[in-house]
Structure 1
Amino acid sequence: MKISNIDAYQIYDSRGFPTLEVEVELENGVSACGLVPSGASTGQFEALELRDGDKTKFRGKSVYKAITNVKEEIAPALIGKSVFDQQKNDLLMIELDGTENKSRLGANAILGVSMAMAKAAAAARGEALFEYLGKGEGNLIPLNEIQILGGGAHAGWATDIQDYLVIAVGAKTYEETLEMTHNIYHTAGELMKKLGKCVGIADEGGWWPDYKDNEEPFEVLMEAIKLAGYEPGKDVAISLDIAASDLYDGEHYRFKLDNKVFTRDEFYDLMSAWCKKYPIISIEDPFADTDFENWKRLQAELGHKVQIIGDDLFTTNIKRIEQGIDQGLANSVLIKLNQIGSVSETIDAIRLTQKAGWLPVVSARSGETEDAFISHLAVATNAGQLKVGSFARSERQVKWNENLRIQRKLGDKARFVGAALYKTIFS
């Protein structure tokens, strides 16, 4: 099962921006494609997404350099190699790039090849992708974290907070998480339209809000949960993605919507107060990726009852996750393939997180494709949680739908533990 050809093409993500599709073909005729996602709110420690920067072509967003790197450098190095040597082949590409953040060849070029190799290997063995990646040990259907209101860089800064999400903590089955979210999502939309608070749909499918401050969305979300027939905190909990690095200037945190400036202590007090006032079970990037002191404080105060997720803080990077574990900065890591740039490194990051007793949350990006790779990744690694945006738009729904298919394929082997997974980190 040796690699016979690798090709790459420019396609378009859910925002209409160029991205890569890479095709890997094997000597036996089997082929598979990897489609690379793209983020809008990116952390400073992420691997580099290589774009051309030529303003005359796709306003600088084209990816022809990355495509050339796949065809002229990566392909010659990998053709003739066994497709089953995922880790070895990924390492070869990393060494070929030769930079700390994959900036020479581009993390998007390397990731596209890495994803396509994994899918081709699975196909060659006649296995589903989750079976191949998990070596037959993955069977945990993830608990969904689903956006209801979009803000921040995903909705033209309609709110300073990036995501207001829900987690169906009372659900007994995967299907029930989808039904509960469906009811809340559409109830929230009807309520917002009635109140004149809805502008449209944000990048990830959540409602694009029109609010006077960053706390008003809580009241609408709480009301939507109740109107949908659920009890906040018991049936459905709130999750937040603050994306605080976007709000921090190195000294102060700033809310443009509220026209407020916070010292680091004041912003800590606000995050802590919200977690106590509302049924918040999970909070992502509550502080900037350099504000370690506040991360430590929040984990020490609330880490026994709130999932504290590092996204920009860790960027799926082994070294940064190790630092976070050593310093007690959080209790959960957001996992994004294109933050680190290869499949094997992503799986290593998940395993490190789990070994520490922390919870991984496999996540999509705001610029997504129709590829459901991360649905398989979440099940393969028994990650337990999946975050792909809202309950609308096909590039989001394809991930939720794929988990239904995976569950059917697993049959009696499928497990769903729901909110019980939080017992790992909650004392």
Structure 2
Amino acid sequence: MTIIENIVGRISILKGGKYSIEVDVITSSGFGRFAAPIDENPSLYIVEAHRAVSEVDEIIGPELIGFDSQEQELIDSYLWEIDGTENLSHIGANTALAVSVAVAKAASNAKNIPLYSYIGGTFTTELPVPILRFAEDETFEYLVLVKDLMEISDVVDAMAKIKEHVKSINLQELSRASEIAGDELGLEVSLGIVQKKEMDIEEVLQKVEDHNISYIKPLGEEELFLELIAGTHGVFVDGEYLFRTKDILDRRYYNALSIKPINLGTLTDLYNLVNDVKSERITPILAEAKYESADDALAHLAVGLKCPAIMLHENSVVKINELIRIAEDLGERGRIITFEG
């Protein structure tokens, strides 16, 4: 029932007209499909996408036919073996992720259970807090958070209220609008900011202190992160910059880490990193890549891996709606994970 009978690759168009690879995994009683996102400059990705399709059709697919799609870790390990490099530079992380997630989807489909339940098991009942990216200026990208939300849709309502009351896109104006939105909705609405350029440590600290901010993704050296951890309370300091540039995974520097599956490779790699992050008492936040497909798998991955938060773009309605469906599917068993810094 779960033995892989065929694997097919094809070109997939992502939002913004960018190109990647989509993979179908077919078993005798199951089917899985996933289009990999991309996160870097995609100017050459049409060439890379065609090469990836050839890799799947001519090398990866034939090698994996006959494997049991339930053997996720074995298949993911074999993808690394087929690649033969330390960073998936041969077959590409997007190809590895497309195959890996499609395999998991095929196995869950054969078992007739949702992907989140297949990944997380019987006791998967927790829903992540959605964080929505909705605006930017020259200094920051802006996100909206609702830390005490009761329904997934609360964060959408908060974003709409902020837009209703904002007059211009800047930190001071958005902070004011977020406080008004919180008062009107009776929710704890706050902002998240992502630095787009480096700033003086004191300036960053002052902006966090003076505005309604509960999340920041800093851009700078270790000292900035240490100062933010020491100088703020109840604020999520996201260490993605330190983790990706200096391989630092340490609670002393940051208390949250946004994780984009495309930066890792396989589903097993994602699972292992999420567990490593949790073991350091750091909050894992599953995040969209810059260019995504309309696939709803990220919502299932966040629930199945028990990530306390998921970071989405305001236009990612497919993933937001899928979170709402998962909440409905869980019913009274479901609860939103407590999201505290």
Question: TM-score, normalised to structure 2's length?
Answer: 0.91
Aligned residues of 1:137 and 1:380 also touching (Cα < 8 A): no
Distance 1:313 1:66, change over 3 A: farther
State the AA in 2 paired with 1:221.
L
Alignment partner of 1:386 is 2:314:
no
Deviation at 1:312, TM superposition (A): 3.4
2:156 aligned partner? 178
2:207 aligned partner? 274
Secondary structure of 1:80's aligned partner: coil
State the AA in 1 paired with 2:176.
E
Deviation at 1:123, TM superposition (A): 0.3
* Cα distance between partner residues in 2 of 1:65 and 1:405: 36
* Cα distance between partner residues in 1 of 2:263 and 2:241: 9
State the AA in 2 paired with 1:356.
E
Q: 1:401 aligns with which of 312, 321, 329?
A: 321
Deviation at 1:238, TM superposition (A): 1.1
Aligned residues of 1:309 and 1:331 also touching (Cα < 8 A): yes
1:87-166 to structure 2, matched below 5 A, reads 87-151=73-137, 159-161=138-140, 163-166=141-144
Secondary structure of 2:144's aligned partner: strand
1:306 aligned partner? 235
* Cα distance between partner residues in 2 of 1:275 and 1:233: 23
1:342 aligned partner? 266
Secondary structure of 2:87's aligned partner: coil
1:20 aligned partner? 21
* Cα distance between partner residues in 1 of 2:43 and 2:291: 18
1:221 aligned partner? 174
Deviation at 1:147, TM superposition (A): 1.8
Deviation at 1:276, TM superposition (A): 0.7
Residue segments in structure 1 that go unaligned for 5+ positions in a row: 42-50, 152-158, 198-208, 210-216, 248-252, 254-261
Aligned residues of 1:170 and 1:235 also touching (Cα < 8 A): yes
* Cα distance between partner residues in 2 of 1:360 and 1:400: 18
Alignment partner of 1:416 is 2:336:
yes
Aligned residues of 1:225 and 1:232 also touching (Cα < 8 A): no
* Cα distance between partner residues in 2 of 1:268 and 1:61: 42
Deviation at 1:349, TM superposition (A): 1.0
RMSD between superposed Cα atoms in Å: 2.5
Q: 1:169 aligns with which of 114, 137, 147?
A: 147
After superposition, the C-alpha distances for 1:357-378 in whole angstroms (9 at most, x for unaligned) are: 2111111122111111110111
Secondary structure of 1:377's aligned partner: helix
- Sequence identity, in percent? 25
Residue segments in structure 2 that go unaligned for 5+ positions in a row: none
Deviation at 1:231, TM superposition (A): 7.2
| Corresponding pairs, count | 340
Deviation at 1:234, TM superposition (A): 6.8
Deviation at 1:169, TM superposition (A): 2.4
